[in-house]
Amino acid sequence: MKITIIAGARPNFIKIAPIIKAVQKKQSEGKSISFRLVHTGQHYDKNLSDTFFEELNIPHPNANLEVKSGSQAEQTAAIMIAFEKDLVQNPCDLVLVVGDVNSTMACAIVAKKMNTKVVHVEAGIRSGDMTMPEEINRIVTDSITDYFFTTSTSASENLLKYGVESSNVHFVGNVMIDTLYQNLDRISAPSFWNNFNLETGNYIILTLHRPSNVDEEKSLIDLLEGIDKMVENKKVIFPIHPRTKAILGETNLNLKNILFVEPQGYLNFMFLIKNSFAVITDSGGISEETTVLGIPCFTMRTTTERPETIEIGTNTLVGTSIENLKELFGAFLKSGLRKAEIPELWDGKASERIIDILLSK
């Protein structure tokens, strides 16, 4: 069985790492399975790409399509054109895509049109918010996927509701959590840990990169200033995403508690999350990691495609206003974190389940 694995952006690298390990394990057991790794080049900054390959021991990609940035259509089209050529030259049995970025959708379309079976890992999750480019990527990808691997029973139910045949839907758990468990004993403090006088539980982590929070400079500044005041004497570490940095440009901000740092590598970032007092974010992946690590997470969005992080995990859906955040953060300060649980099958073995199932097809 020949699988082409697609990765294009930071969260993808974290998701493919354990899948590749699971394939390699089967190879070492003598199973007939091989993979080819295609990096689309959607994320190309060292901080968002190379660092993750190095830290997570992901093999050097067999091809880098080097599409870089562009509008939604430009980027999607560039990936499709480049990947079609790659797939013509390197035919395979399955194209495996993960998550919900433009590379996920673009490569799924190319594969399906070339009659190659599509595997979607993290299929079926839905926010219901059609203003999010990721939601469109999810819907289009799932409409042409052959084998669906889900992180939750609600994601599986979504797919069945859309008429997907149940024999092709497999609830296997969460590959991002596989990576977390595989690396927990390797996480380490970043170089600024001592300089900023950080200690376990004395700081908050902030990440923001979704258009709804960062594309309007004025509302982004209002949010940052509001958070800066709200946290009183706690430091806030803000690894700033290139997209957010570009919006703020040279703006002079008068912030007392928020400390800007570069996007962090996986091992430093997980150390920061694991030892934080709380996390404020608009990332979906981070709300999964905080749920497993038992760290309170405040999500600055009006919807989520990961309801389990709210229903049984540590996540609180805030909305995008600072007033809501102040109220919900204040309530947490008063009453502490409600009892949380780790979702079913988020046990570090999802990738092995996926490869076992693919080998049985």
Interaction of residue 10 with ligand UDP, rule CB under 6 A: yes
Interaction of residue 284 with ligand UDP, rule CB under 6 A: yes
Site string for ligand UDP, 189-218 (x = CB under 6 A): ------------------x-----------
Interaction of residue 271 with ligand UDP, rule CB under 6 A: no
Considering only the stretches 141-149, 220-228, 281-289, 325-333, report the one whose residues sit in contact with ligand UDP under the rule CB under 6 A.
Answer: 281-289
Residue closer to ligand UDP (CB basis): 187 or 312: 187
Interaction of residue 348 with ligand UDP, rule CB under 6 A: no
Site string for ligand UDP, 149-178 (x = CB under 6 A): ---------------------------x--
Contacts of 5 (CB under 8 A, 6+ apart): 16, 19, 20, 35, 36, 37, 38, 96
Cα separation, 285 vs 300, whole angstroms: 13
Instruction: Based on the residue annotation, tell me whether 209 is a catalytic residue of this protein.
Output: yes
Q: 3-state DSSP call for residue 205?
A: strand
Nearest residue to 134 (alpha-carbon basis) of 254, 311, 19, 8 = 8
Cα separation, 29 vs 309, whole angstroms: 36
Interaction of residue 314 with ligand UDP, rule CB under 6 A: no
Write down the catalytic residue from 43, 120, 170, 209. Answer: 209
Inter-residue contact 260 to 238 (CB < 8 Å): yes
Inter-residue contact 299 to 221 (CB < 8 Å): no
Task: Provide, rounded to whole angstroms, the least separation between the CB of residue 206 and ligand UDP.
Answer: 10
Interaction of residue 49 with ligand UDP, rule CB under 6 A: no
Q: Could you list the residues that contact ligand UDP (CB under 6 A)?
A: 10-11, 14, 176, 207, 239, 263-264, 266, 269, 283-286, 289
What is the set of active-site residues? 209
